[in-house]
Amino acid sequence: NAGVTQTPKFRVLKTGQSMTLLCAQDMNHEYMYWYRQDPGMGLRLIHYSVGEGTTAKGEVPDGYNVSRLKKQNFLLGLESAAPSQTSVYFCASRPLGGSGYEQYFGPGTRLTVT
C-alpha cells in the first residue's frame, strides 16, 4: 500500500495563478483532511470530508476550495493564489472506526506564492 500520497511535492506560483493539489489514499478511508503548516502555528485545518461527495470547512477555509468526487481522492484548489498561502500543505485520512481516530498523513506539498 502506498498509504497517502500528495501531488505535487513542490510548486511555485505567481500571485493570482490557480492550482490544484491532489491527495490520494489507498486505504479505503472515509475521512480526509487538508491542513496547512506554518512556523509557530502548528497544523491548521483548511477543509475536511467525512465521505465521498461531502466536504466541510475547517479553521482556515478562505481562499481554498475542495472536492471529493471519489472516495480515494481529495482535491484542494486555490483559485487565485496569494503570498499568504505560501505554506506546507498536508493531507491526512482516517477510517470511520477501528483505528482509534489515528490520522495517516501524506508527505506534504511545499507551495511558494511570489
Partner 1 sequence: AQSVTQLDSQVPVFEEAPVELRCNYSSSVSVYLFWYVQYPNQGLQLLLKYLSGSTLVKGINGFEAEFNKSQTSFHLRKPSVHISDTAEYFCAAISGGYQKVTFGIGTKLQVIP
Nearer to partner 1, 44 or 71 (CB): 44
Q: Smallest distance from the beta carbon of 106 to partner 1, in angstroms?
A: 5
Residue (of 29, 1, 32, 12) closest to 109 by Cα position? 12
CA distance 66 to 79: 11
Per DSSP bridges, beta strands 87-94 and 104-105 are: antiparallel
Contact region with partner 1 (CB under 8 A), list: 13-21, 61-69, 70-78, 97-105: 97-105
63 binds partner 1 (CB under 8 A): no
Q: Is 82 in the site for partner 1 (CB under 8 A)?
A: no
Are 109 and 8 in contact, with CB atoms under 8 Å apart? yes
Residue pair 85/72 in contact by the 8 Å Cβ criterion? no
- When binding is defined by CB under 8 A, the residue of 11, 22, 45, 95 that contacts partner 1 is 45
Residue 22, interface with partner 1 (CB under 8 A)? no
Q: Three cell numbers at 109?
A: 506539498
User: Which residues sit at the interface with partner 1, rule CB under 8 A?
Assistant: 4, 31, 33, 35, 40-45, 48, 50, 56, 58, 90, 92, 100-103, 105-108
